[in-house]
Amino acid sequence: MTQPQRVVTDTMAGLKLPDFDTWSDRVATVLGQNPGPFTGPGTNTYLVGTSKRPLLLDTGIGLEVYDPLLEQGLSETKGANELQEIVLTHVHQDHIGGVPNVQKRFGELSVSKHRWPEKDRAYDFPLTYIEDGATIETDGATLHAIHTPGHAKDHLCYYLEEEKALFTGDLVLGAGTTVVPEEGGGLIDYMASLRKLLDLDLSVIYPAHGPAIREPYKKLNAYIAHRELREQQVLDALGAGLTRIPDMVKRIYVDVPEFLHAAAGNSVQSHLIKLEKEGVVKNEGEEWALA
Ligand SMILES: [Zn+2]
């Protein structure tokens, strides 16, 4: 049996965070109330700014239980009862899903994100499209949008200039690793996005799931090393003659419970697709082999 090998050893399992909390002079969180194996304690939605009209970064999945907590969190962390606007990291439901309820409570706030027309058309509220490099300002906080595809085509990270902090959405999580989905994602983009973040001057990462990351470069390098190790493990499995994804999962993910093997299979597949694009492996039906 292959020994389990992993770079990222922490996990979201059992992690708990308070319903709302102050993380810095400018940044407070309200938890989306959607815990799960992939969301950890749930989506962090962020109140950003120093005024009584902060902006809301991500909105959770749209659960009714979130709305009174947002109101309470806004009041207790910012002494506020208004929002300036809504800004989104990406179109996945646990980030955009809360928009209609938030607008019902706080008025027709503008909603900004990067474009992904095929997904955006599922929502009937107006969206303001922002590009890589766009700046969003609120009292006490300046956010710079950074296009970071890989987890989702429209994914933006936001750099908070005043704190050298980075909101990473689902690109980098507070614990464990993230999903690189086949639809709208891809490991080539994902790795490039991680490497792009290494060039920033960072003191902290505020992820969309899990706690703040106080050693940003250690985390980014661990994320890169994790994927590089997985890629090597996939190559080793192919070299050992394994051709099918479920067999590779059994070999590589010996330390992962069976209910996560489907997700692990998606991860192996995303490595194989990357390697295929790079001309290293070939694929026929469900069979994979070294090229
Ligand atoms: Zn996502």
CATH number of the domain bearing residue 154: 3.60.15.10
The yes-or-no verdict on residue 52 having pLDDT over 90 is yes
Q: Within this chain, do residues 215 and 97 fall inside the same structural domain, yes or no?
A: yes
Place of tokens 């609120």: 138
Distance, CA 90 to ligand 1 centroid (Å)?
Answer: 7
State the pairing for strand pair 165-169/204-207: parallel
3-state secondary structure of 169: strand
Percent share of the chain, pLDDT over 90 = 88
Mean pLDDT of 175-182: 89
Q: Is residue 205 part of a domain?
A: yes
Residue ranges making up the domain that contains 283: 227-290
- pTM of this prediction? 0.94
Q: What is the CATH number of the domain that holds 240?
A: 1.10.10.10
Mean pLDDT of 6-27: 89
- The answer to whether the CB of 238 falls within 8 A of the CB of 14 is no
The yes-or-no verdict on residue 151 having pLDDT over 60 is yes
Residue 237: the pLDDT is: 98
Mean pLDDT of 204-211: 97
The yes-or-no verdict on residue 56 having pLDDT over 70 is yes
Q: Is residue 14 part of a domain?
A: no
The yes-or-no verdict on residue 153 having pLDDT over 70 is yes
State the pairing for strand pair 111-113/86-87: parallel
Q: Within this chain, do residues 126 and 266 fall inside the same structural domain, yes or no?
A: no
The domain tally of the chain equals 2
Residue 5: the pLDDT is: 66
Q: Is residue 10 part of a domain?
A: no
The yes-or-no verdict on residue 1 having pLDDT over 60 is no
The yes-or-no verdict on residue 227 having pLDDT over 90 is yes
Question: Quick one: which of 86, 192, 187 has its CA closest to 130?
Answer: 86
Q: Within this chain, do residues 87 and 157 fall inside the same structural domain, yes or no?
A: yes
- The answer to whether the CB of 185 falls within 8 A of the CB of 274 is no
Distance, CA 177 to ligand 1 centroid (Å)?
Answer: 12
Phi, psi of 151 (to 5 degrees): -85, -40
- The neighbourhood of ligand 1, an ion, using CB within 5 A, equals 92, 170
The yes-or-no verdict on residue 77 having pLDDT over 70 is yes
Query: Residue 256 class from Cβ within 10 Å (0-12 exposed, 13-18 middle, 19+ buried)?
Result: middle
Query: Residue 4 class from Cβ within 10 Å (0-12 exposed, 13-18 middle, 19+ buried)?
Result: exposed
Distance, CA 23 to ligand 1 centroid (Å)?
Answer: 22
Q: Within this chain, do residues 210 and 250 fall inside the same structural domain, yes or no?
A: no
Distance, CA 258 to ligand 1 centroid (Å)?
Answer: 23
- The answer to whether the CB of 170 falls within 8 A of the CB of 92 is yes
Q: Within this chain, do residues 59 and 197 fall inside the same structural domain, yes or no?
A: yes
- Mark which of 226, 259, 275 sits at the end of a domain: 226
Distance, CA 31 to ligand 1 centroid (Å)?
Answer: 16
Q: Is residue 206 part of a domain?
A: yes
Mean model confidence pLDDT for the chain: 95
Distance, CA 163 to ligand 1 centroid (Å)?
Answer: 24
User: How many whole angstroms separate alpha carbon 249 and alpha carbon 257?
Assistant: 11
Q: Within this chain, do residues 242 and 111 fall inside the same structural domain, yes or no?
A: no
Beta bridge partners of 56: 47, 86
User: How many whole angstroms separate alpha carbon 102 and alpha carbon 94?
Assistant: 14
Distance, CA 151 to ligand 1 centroid (Å)?
Answer: 6
Residue 255: the pLDDT is: 86
Residue 3: the pLDDT is: 54
Q: Is residue 82 part of a domain?
A: yes
Mean pLDDT of 237-263: 94
Residue 91: the pLDDT is: 98
Residue, of 166 and 183, whose pLDDT is higher: 166
Q: Within this chain, do residues 221 and 241 fall inside the same structural domain, yes or no?
A: no
User: How many whole angstroms separate alpha carbon 145 and alpha carbon 291?
Assistant: 39
- Mark which of 172, 191, 226 sits at the end of a domain: 226
The yes-or-no verdict on residue 223 having pLDDT over 80 is yes
CB atoms within 10 A of CB 110: 14
Distance, CA 98 to ligand 1 centroid (Å)?
Answer: 14
**94-113 confidence digits (pLDDT tens):** 999 999 999 999 999 999 99
